[in-house]
A and B are shown apart, each in its own frame.
Chain A
Amino acid sequence: MNEILLKNAIAIDGSIIDLRIIGTEIAEIGTGLNTGDETIDCTGLRLLPGFVDLHTHLREPGKENAETVLSGSQAAVRGGFTAVSAMANTYPVADSAGVVEQVWRLGKSAGLCDVYPIGAVSAGLEGEKLAEIGAMAQSAARVRVFSDDGKCVSDPLLMRRALEYVKSFGGVIAQHAQEPRLTAGAQMNEGAVASELGLAGWPAMAEESIIARDILIANAVQSRLHICHLSTKGSVEIVRWAKAQGMVVTAEVTPHHLLLTDELARTYDPIYKVNPPLRTMDDVLALRAALADGTIDIVATDHAPHPDEDKECEWASAAFGMVGLESALAIVVTTMIESGLMDWQRLAEVMSYAPAWIGGYEGQGEILTVGSQANLVLVDPHSTWVVDRAALRSRSRNTPFHGTTLTGEVVHTIYRGKIVLRNKEVGSYE
């Protein structure tokens, strides 16, 4: 069995520790441990549980020109993730046991991180009748998270049925909250900037009304609702109210919504076109506060790769979405840790423990202790670096952060005892 010794890492509580991995598990934690076969000097690096992304578009099957499970896995480990969740909007749609098992097997063969398929809620993402949720749950992929992401489950009756149906196996419905009629043709956040640019507005209430509705439905049927990519201050207020009532709901925010605003649309550069749209600074500050105080449970990337041709056009014709796996940690460090809003304990919660719990991902998001799975990431907390689109491991280049200086960089990633990122280089190091 392979043995790895991490020497002089900074633990979450700030203490300096050594950690020995044998096989796939953490075997020993202490100080001054004897050097093993393979020793990594972790001086100055923070040791964290491997990150877990609950919202990733890996595009395979169907759009392999944008991303594959392998290239997406490489981007994931570059970003410190040891688990990702492949969204269902592929071609064909992941609405049957066959497709989710295919994605699951592709993840296994890539072998760099866990790839958990998310199943569609409705057949073909068409919002009309339930997909084969039970078959996906019982498949080899053991799907527990279901989402029509990219589209909203707008029919309230279908949403109710889906929430009820997943109770039999402890599943969760992840809702893309976007009232379709209120966002017909919408291009960017509704408000002052959109009115000046003549781009059709995407009102906050189109997101908030669905969130409010679904919280009520989920609590009436006592099932689990997760809200994807919250983007407005009003959404935060609704979730905060629901949690104060003791209602069960979880919510995520993307890194880009923690940093960017709709002012960027003034360039008409579709690199900033994303769903939900970038909002105002007022919203950004509300999202940061909510992530810090626990109203928002997790950070999820909504990594959405697109080939250049889908972004090299006028705004209205361009695809929605941004890649995010490789910059997620740095955005969270820059916006939340450097600003003093959050500590490393909370970062581990929002990027690892909580998303693993929501997804039910075994061996992920565990407290680092002897016997737990060795899914680990080592982060240089003070390293500043400039995002370079050409250096991304993703097959797509659509990052809105190109040229941006960020703080915090992933240095090593260890996936179930295997080094998959060594000194910022992706590979399978046996």
Chain B
Amino acid sequence: MKNLLSINDVSRDEAMNILDTAAELQNLTAGTVKKLPTLRGRTIANLFFEDSTRTRLSFEAAAKRLSADVINFSAKGSSVSKGESLKDTAQTLEAMGVDLFVLRHPASGAATSLAESGWVDAHIINAGDGTHEHPTQALLDAFTIRKHHGIGRSDFNGVKVAIVGDIAHSRVARSNVLLLKKFGADVTVIAPPTLIPVGIDSWGVRYSYDFDEELASFDVVMMLRVQLERMNDSFFPNGREYARGYGLDESRLLRLKRDAIVMHPGPMNRGLEISSASADSARSVILEQVANGVIVRMAVLYRSLGGPDIASTGGSL
């Protein structure tokens, strides 16, 4: 796997392989020494055209734990619109010896454009492109679900997942839908009609406008961050009304299945899509997602930069 641009490009087996590699890496780095020499001498550039301190730090930690050198480029929004194009920036950094780009960009398809245009030869990992995809988030979410529901290497058949929130504008939702479908999970996306994308029928998932209807049947409830700006564009009237209909508040938390887990990709709007009581409850695996993020991103970097199949090495990297 040279590039990771979209979950669409990853086979079910490759995705499972990434999760297995992550599990091995987690065992190997569980002790006090967290660093492996695997990517020594390789240079990874975090190319961030959009603010995302968390994702950048997660990739940086992952790269450093594999002993890669990391350089960071960040430029946001309008400052890059003229003069500092994606093409020029990537070519400039590649000329400095970059082997792999981790790209975060506000434009959907930016990672695909960089990979398919022939501008650079380096490997490319999509760390979020506009409202398209965020494939490593889906992988780390699947890794987290797998651990909690004791699924192991088998498929996610029968696991019932709700993804709740701004489906229309969420790259996390798109990647998760694709990956969870690949693994055979039963996915329902839930949002007010204004935040369900036109064209949802082609996604192959169920959708609902009612969070409460099947609340007690979900094994996983994945809450999405809601941008408050959306109310200025009349996607919903205000935060209170949104929270009432689609927030995971305490009364909804109490109605969840006993072993259901609560997920959120962060950063959270406490009191909007998720209450503090839910975020901090025993069902919440939100901080585990953060920890798993580093592990899964290590696995992705390892697979991309040509590491052997982890099973064939007997667990030694």
Which of B81, B85, B86, B109 interacts with A197 by CB under 8 Å? B109
Known: A198-B171, A269-B116. A314 touches B203 (CB 8 A): no
- Docked Cα-Cα span, A123 to B198, in Å, equals 36
A196-238 contact mask (Cβ, 8 Å, vs B): 1 or 0:
1111110100000000000000000000000000000000000
Q: How far is the CB of A99 from chain B (nearest CB, A)?
A: 27
Contact A195 B203 (CB under 8 A): yes
Q: How far is the CB of A408 from chain B (nearest CB, A)?
A: 31
- Interface centre among A193, A270, A313, by most chain B C-beta atoms within 10 angstroms, is A313
Contact B199 A195 (CB under 8 A): yes
Contact B116 A317 (CB under 8 A): no
Known: A267-B116, A313-B85, A316-B130. A196 touches B109 (CB 8 A): no
A-B contact pairs, 9 of them (CB 8 A): A193-B199, A199-B108, A199-B131, A201-B197, A201-B199, A267-B112, A314-B86, A315-B107, A317-B85
Contact B87 A195 (CB under 8 A): no
Contact A197 B108 (CB under 8 A): yes
Name A28-69 residues within 8 Å CB distance of B.
none
Asked if A191 CB lies within 8 Å of chain B CBs, one says: yes
Contact A198 B132 (CB under 8 A): yes
B81-108 contact mask (Cβ, 8 Å, vs A): 1 or 0:
1000111000000000000000001111
Query: Which residues from chain B contact A197 at a C-beta distance below 8 Å?
Result: 108-109, 132
Of chain B, the residue at the smallest CB distance from A187 is: B108
Q: How far is the CB of B7 from chain A (nearest CB, A)?
A: 11
Of chain A, the residue at the smallest CB distance from B178 is: A196
Query: Which residues from chain B contact A201 at a C-beta distance below 8 Å?
Result: 197-199
Contact B201 A314 (CB under 8 A): no
Query: Which residues from chain A contact B110 at a C-beta distance below 8 Å?
Result: 314
Tell me the dominant secondary structure on chain B's binding face: mixed
Contact A312 B117 (CB under 8 A): yes
Asked if B24 CB lies within 8 Å of chain A CBs, one says: no
Query: Which residues from chain A contact B86 at a C-beta distance below 8 Å?
Result: 313-314
Of chain A, the residue at the smallest CB distance from B109 is: A268
Known: A198-B132, A198-B174, A269-B116. A191 touches B198 (CB 8 A): yes
Known: A268-B113, A314-B86. A195 touches B202 (CB 8 A): yes
Contact A268 B116 (CB under 8 A): yes
Contact B130 A198 (CB under 8 A): yes
- Interface centre among A196, A199, A269, by most chain B C-beta atoms within 10 angstroms, is A196
Range of interface residues on A (Cβ < 8 Å): 20 to 34
Name A291-328 residues within 8 Å CB distance of B.
312-317
Of chain A, the residue at the smallest CB distance from B130 is: A198
Asked if A101 CB lies within 8 Å of chain B CBs, one says: no
Query: Which residues from chain A contact B105 at a C-beta distance below 8 Å?
Result: 314
Query: Which residues from chain B contact A194 at a C-beta distance below 8 Å?
Result: 197-199
Contact B87 A313 (CB under 8 A): yes
Contact B201 A192 (CB under 8 A): yes
Query: Which residues from chain B contact A192 at a C-beta distance below 8 Å?
Result: 199, 201-202
Asked if B129 CB lies within 8 Å of chain A CBs, one says: yes
Of chain A, the residue at the smallest CB distance from B87 is: A312
Q: How far is the CB of B141 from chain A (nearest CB, A)?
A: 18
- Docked Cα-Cα span, A245 to B105, in Å, equals 51
Asked if B249 CB lies within 8 Å of chain A CBs, one says: no
Query: Which residues from chain A contact B174 at a C-beta distance below 8 Å?
Result: 196, 198
Asked if B200 CB lies within 8 Å of chain A CBs, one says: yes
Contact B112 A268 (CB under 8 A): yes
Known: A198-B130, A203-B198, A268-B113. A317 touches B203 (CB 8 A): no
